[in-house]
Structure 1
Amino acid sequence: MTPFFIYTLITIISLLTLKFILITTKKLKNLPPGPLSIPIIGNIHQLKHPLHRTLYNLSQKYGQVFSLRFGSRLVVVVSSPSIVHECFTKNDTILANRPPLLAGKHIGYNYTAVTVAPYGDHWRNVRRIISLDVLSTHRLNSFLGIRKDEILRLLQSLARSSRDGFAKVELKSKFSEMTFNTIMRMISGKRYYGEDCDVSDKEGAKEFRELIKEMISLAGSSNPGEFVGIFRWFDYGDYEKKLKRISRRFDGFLQGLIDEHRRKKESMNTMIDHLLNLQESQPEYYTDQIIKGIVLMLSSLLWTYEYSV
């Protein structure tokens, strides 16, 4: 390329960039105050660990509501309980949507799972199903026996560990197994964790544990492509490729569970069986995809618990 062409190209790109900055600044002129951001990366360079200390220090300088740029994404940080209450009570519908991240596209069934779906008719319909048919007081009370049984199994395990005297026990894994098995028995009637998981489904239990572990790893990782667009062009770290692979595997696993319960047609007290019964009378509301999305939402409770303990 000739120098004249290169200089012309640089000038055009610079003018377009300046125009974009001016338009963006004009549109966002009413934003809360915040530190000056750097083009492309925004304020990411200022996010030092521990993060809560960094945000606290920024709130002391810019106030209880301030703006940050995570690459190309705008973030508003609220550190006042009264303002948080106002955001999620008076203005909850305005702030109901979540950013369209790649995990929501590939794992969340193209943003149709309730945890990642945009606010609207579909979200309200799935939320209604979850409130009435999955997590209602009546439905949860019907699983009381499962919860009691899993607690009893935990106590028996602890008793066995200390039957010859005092013993040091690593409780995190035991609490995780109890929580995971409780939720999965409510969903599918099967235990997937621990030494006494369902003997008849060892391979399925192993596959599920591997899937959950990989999904936790991907969902909890920070993907630069979500914030800096240029990284997404060439799939930095093969992140989207990994998401597509795990989403296919997890979808196949969930569909296998649904098909198994549909074939057996047992009168089991599981969430999948209850939703399949409703599917027979209202197939347009209780599609396989919606059922899988609900199971995905309940499985995400496992991820939340895994990170909180």
Structure 2
Amino acid sequence: MDNNFLSPPTTIALTIVLVLLYNIWRIKKPSNKSKGMKPPEPSYALPLIGAYPALIISNQEAIKECFTTNDKILASRPKSSHGIYLGYNFAGFGFAPYGTYWSKLRKLTMFELLSSRRIESLRHVYESEIDTLIKDLFLYVKVGKVKVVISEWLERLTFNIITKMICGKRYFEYLQDVDDVEAHGQVLKSMKRIAKDLDTLVGSWVEEHVEKSKDGVNDSNEKHDFIDVMLSVIEDDPASGHNRDTIIKANVM
């Protein structure tokens, strides 16, 4: 009976069981080396929620450390389809990864496009747009009892100010109905379509400004919009792989 108990099949089976038990014990045993190095993981996770590691900052000291001491490490945004299709393959300031190219764009944006001097020189833009808004709103309600959705009027006002500061022209007419251009449904497909439409629109703005520059139109620096400024200071950047027109279009959008 002892010989049957120690037969080769029994010995092999016992060996396998012991090895499995040992491995399970090693996995469950806490390790001092790895303790505190890995973030806690959820016991279960849905396909999206809890599937990716994330760090939530909830106190002022941690925020200060992230944006001062370790700002270069945390400066880059994760790559996404938005940066590829809407940001001209990460040529736009808002999508570009941290580095020399991003630093150049940041310097250009802060000192040439959004400086107090530049904003003050474009003061006439929002003053004239507000004046136009009030006049059109008066004409709109003058015809009779009508419904006025102020949020829509303010949205068009904001967009007109932005486009006029960028390219020197308005986008919406207040007294015309404007279709909702927001994409729904298949996000990536809509994103590509919108990117193509925007590329055509913004590209025409850039070409128009290039032609005006060749003809000597708008020589007054005070009347220059953002595209004029970028055309005067931006050159092709072989290191980033983007030409001048691509950089301008990406940052306009």
Please, what TM-score do these two structures have when normalized by structure 2? Answer: 0.70
Superposed, 1:238-253 pairs within 5 Å as 239-253=187-201
Quick one: which amino acid aligns to residue 90 of structure 2?
A: Y
Query: Are residues 1:189 and 2:168 paired?
Result: yes
- 1:15-44 deviations in whole A, cap 9, x for unaligned? xxxxxxxxxxx99963444533437x15x2
Quote the sequence identity (%): 32
Shift of 1:192: 0.6
Structure 1 gap ranges (5+): 1-25, 45-68, 198-205, 219-236, 297-309
Shift of 1:106: 1.6
Distance 1:36 1:87 in 2: 28
Quick one: which amino acid aligns to residue 43 of structure 2?
A: L
Residue aligned with 1:78, SS: coil
The verdict on how the C-alpha distance between 1:32 and 1:156 changes in structure 2, with shifts beyond 3 A counting, is farther
Quick one: which amino acid aligns to residue 277 of structure 1?
A: S
- 1:152-211 deviations in whole A, cap 9, x for unaligned? 2223334445558997631101110110000100011111113368xxxxxxxx8xx77x
Superposed, 1:123-202 pairs within 5 Å as 123-161=102-140, 169-195=148-174
Distance 1:238 1:161 in 2: 37
Query: Are residues 1:261 and 2:209 paired?
Result: yes
Shift of 1:112: 2.2
Quick one: which amino acid aligns to residue 288 of structure 1?
A: D
Distance 1:99 1:28 in 2: 28
Shift of 1:287: 0.9
Q: Which residue of 2 aligns with 1:30?
A: 37
Distance 2:38 2:135 in 1: 57
Distance 1:27 1:103 in 2: 37
Shift of 1:271: 1.1
Q: 8 Å contact 2:163–2:170 — kept in the other structure?
A: yes
Q: 8 Å contact 2:164–2:225 — kept in the other structure?
A: yes
- Compare relative contact order (CA 8 Å, sep 6+) and give the higher one, 1 or 2: 2
Shift of 1:125: 1.0
Quick one: which amino acid aligns to residue 191 of structure 1?
A: R
- 1:132-153 deviations in whole A, cap 9, x for unaligned? 2211111111100011111222
Runs of 4+ in 1 over 6 A off after TM superposition: 26-29, 164-167
Q: 8 Å contact 2:136–2:174 — kept in the other structure?
A: no
Shift of 1:90: 2.6
RMSD (CA atoms): 3.3
Larger radius of gyration: 2
Shift of 1:244: 2.9
Distance 2:170 2:60 in 1: 40
Quick one: which amino acid aligns to residue 117 of structure 1?
A: A
Distance 2:142 2:165 in 1: 31
Of the three residues 233, 246, 252, the one matched with 1:289 is 246
Distance 1:158 1:99 in 2: 43
Q: Which residue of 2 aligns with 1:272?
A: 227
Of the three residues 53, 59, 77, the one matched with 1:80 is 59
The verdict on how the C-alpha distance between 1:88 and 1:255 changes in structure 2, with shifts beyond 3 A counting, is same
Distance 2:237 2:91 in 1: 15
The verdict on how the C-alpha distance between 1:159 and 1:104 changes in structure 2, with shifts beyond 3 A counting, is same
Q: As a proportion of its length, which structure holds more helix?
A: 1
Please, what TM-score do these two structures have when normalized by structure 1? Answer: 0.58
